[in-house]
């Protein structure tokens, strides 16, 4: 059910999620912390697997938890189209629907409107587009993005933002920043659920002044957390680093910082170095379905003939289901035979790998050796 429109907005300052930094690295902006949510705490830095359609592809909630997942992301655009947020609400909300009793974050739907929907048209009012499923004409405004997310009922909702595709003229990015700021204010005004946090999204491409302007405007609106958006959409590693540094140093210390759509191990190390606390990405599960697995020695491609009779696990020392029970030879067989269990096991490993990497980062930050850990892991991973 959507919340009653007569409800008042929740008072500012009462935070549905609260972030506490528990340790800071001396040699970087890295920090370890805890995000308390209505569905329990999450230690940060944290990686969130993506459950696009209210399921992380092929994995049960127990398998996710065993792999180390604590907080999931679900996609508002996909769920609003199918089964529809009213159906999710009628079935008890997203947590009950997908049987995940840990924290969940939903994106605003904007990114998919711009990347997946057909003939999206954007005005200051919002976006109109046609569903990629059935061509229905639909509208996504800041108010609607909040209403859908409140019906879904995740612990954290995201503001509708505009993320221009790169490369783009600076003037175009500036217009997107203006719109992102205006939409963030409308999202803040539209919220009604006192048990759902709302994060603002800093845009601005690789332009220091635009990032700064966006961050300052959003900070003045006092969001529960802040995301850095518009990264991982085609820019160079150096541009990403600059966008991060510029965005992060302005953000308040007592709010979580979330880098959207980033999941390469190297990028996680860089982003935590820059002060980021949270991540999401389809990469571990998408790569896993495609037989490519993270290891500390770099990617392993399970279809490779070299693995045919290899009795060793995918990664020595990994305690995930794939590595503790199965050989590389068996995993290769599953992929060649097009068996579902291959993508399932590879996805489990890739998630376990990223969750282990975030745990190692947390421990290193607490022990004051994050900079060294980052260099060691980057060197082992290779280019």
**Is 101 among the annotated ligand-binding positions?**
no
- Cβ distance to its own copies smaller for residue 95 or 362: 95
281 is annotated as contributing to ligand binding: no
214 is annotated as contributing to ligand binding? no
**β-pairing verdict for 225-228 and 197-202:** parallel
Distance from C-alpha of 24 to C-alpha of 358, rounded to nearest angstrom = 15
Q: What's the min distance (Å) between Cβ of 154 and its own copies?
A: 16
**At its nearest, how many Å lie between its own copies and the CB of residue 56?**
8
Q: SS3 of 104, please?
A: strand
Q: Is 310 annotated as a binding residue?
A: no
* Residue closer to its own copies, measured from CB, 95 or 207: 95
> What secondary structure does DSSP assign to 208-275, as a single string?
HHHHHHHHHHHHHTT-SEEEE-S-SSS--HHHHHHHHHHHHTTS-TTS-EEETT---HHHHHHHHHTT
- Whether 107 is catalytic is yes
The Cα–Cα gap between 187 and 199 comes to: 10
Q: In the complex with its own copies, which residue's Cβ is closer, 87 or 304?
A: 87
Distance CA 225, CA 239 (A): 23
Residue placing its CB nearer to its own copies in the complex, 189 or 319 = 319
DSSP string for residues in 124-141: SS-EEEE-TTT--EEEE-
The smaller minimum CB distance to its own copies, of residues 185 and 341, is found at 341
* 296 token code pair: 């500390």
- Is 189 a catalytic site residue? no
250, 224 Cβ separation under 8 angstroms: no
The CA-atom distances, in angstroms, between 28 and each of 53, 122, 186, 241, 339 are 37, 39, 35, 13, 44
Residue from 25, 155, 224, 280 carrying the catalytic annotation: 280
The catalytically annotated residue of 25, 107, 155, 277 is 107
Task: Tell me: is residue 107 an annotated ligand-binding position.
Answer: yes
Residue 323 is assigned to a ligand binding site: yes
Tell me 292's DSSP state. Answer: E
Q: How far is the CB of 242 from its own copies (least distance, A)?
A: 38
Q: Least distance in Å: CB of 94 to its own copies? A: 10
| Closest distance to its own copies from the beta carbon of 317 (Å) | 18
**110 labeled part of a ligand binding site:** yes
Binding site for its own copies (CB under 8 A): 53-55, 57-63, 78, 82-83, 87, 90-92, 97-99, 308-309, 311, 321, 325-327, 329-330, 332-334, 336-337, 339-341, 343-345
- Residue identified by tokens 């290769």 is 332
Binding residues for substrate: 107-111, 161, 203, 230
Binding residues: 107-111, 161, 203, 230, 318, 320, 323, 349
Binding residues for Zn(2+): 318, 320, 323, 349
Catalytically active residues, by annotation = 107, 280
């Amino acid at each position: 059910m959507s919340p009653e429109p007569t409800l008042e907005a929740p008072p500012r300052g009462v935070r549905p999620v609260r972030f506490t930094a528990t340790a800071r690295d001396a040699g970087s902006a890295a920090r370890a912390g805890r995000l308390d949510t209505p569905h329990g705490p999450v230690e940060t830095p944290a990686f969130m697997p993506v459950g696009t359609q209210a399921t992380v592809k092929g994995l049960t909630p127990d398998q996710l938890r065993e792999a180390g997942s604590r907080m999931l992301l679900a996609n508002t655009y996909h769920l609003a189209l199918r089964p529809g947020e009213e159906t999710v609400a009628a079935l008890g909300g997203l947590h009950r629907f997908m049987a995940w009793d840990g924290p969940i974050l939903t994106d605003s739907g904007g990114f998919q409107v711009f990347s997946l929907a057909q003939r999206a048209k954007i005005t200051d009012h919002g976006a109109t587009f046609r569903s990629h499923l059935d061509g229905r004409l639909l509208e996504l405004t800041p108010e609607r993005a909040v209403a859908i997310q409140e019906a879904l009922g995740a612990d954290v909702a995201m503001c509708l933002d505009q993320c221009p595709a790169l490369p783009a003229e600076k003037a175009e990015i500036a217009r997107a920043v203006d719109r992102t700021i205006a939409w963030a204010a409308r999202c803040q005004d539209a919220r009604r659920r006192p048990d759902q946090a709302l994060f603002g999204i800093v845009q601005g491409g690789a332009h220091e002044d635009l990032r700064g302007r966006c961050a300052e405007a959003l900070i003045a609106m006092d969001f529960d957390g802040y995301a850095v958006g518009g990264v991982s959409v085609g820019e160079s590693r150096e541009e990403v680093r600059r966008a991060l540094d510029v965005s992060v140093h302005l953000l308040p210390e007592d709010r979580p910082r979330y880098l959207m759509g980033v999941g390469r191990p190297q990028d996680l190390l860089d982003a935590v170095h820059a002060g980021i606390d949270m991540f999401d990405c389809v990469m571990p599960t998408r790569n896993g379905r495609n037989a490519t697995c993270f290891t500390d020695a770099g990617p392993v491609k399970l279809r490779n003939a070299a693995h045919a009779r290899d009795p060793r696990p995918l990664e020595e020392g990994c305690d995930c289901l794939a590595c503790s029970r199965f050989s590389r030879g068996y995993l290769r067989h599953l992929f060649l035979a097009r068996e579902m269990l291959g993508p399932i096991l590879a996805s489990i490993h890739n998630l376990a790998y990223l969750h282990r990497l975030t745990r190692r980062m947390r421990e290193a930050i607490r022990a004051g050796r994050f900079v060294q850990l980052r260099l060691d892991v980057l060197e082992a991973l290779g280019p």
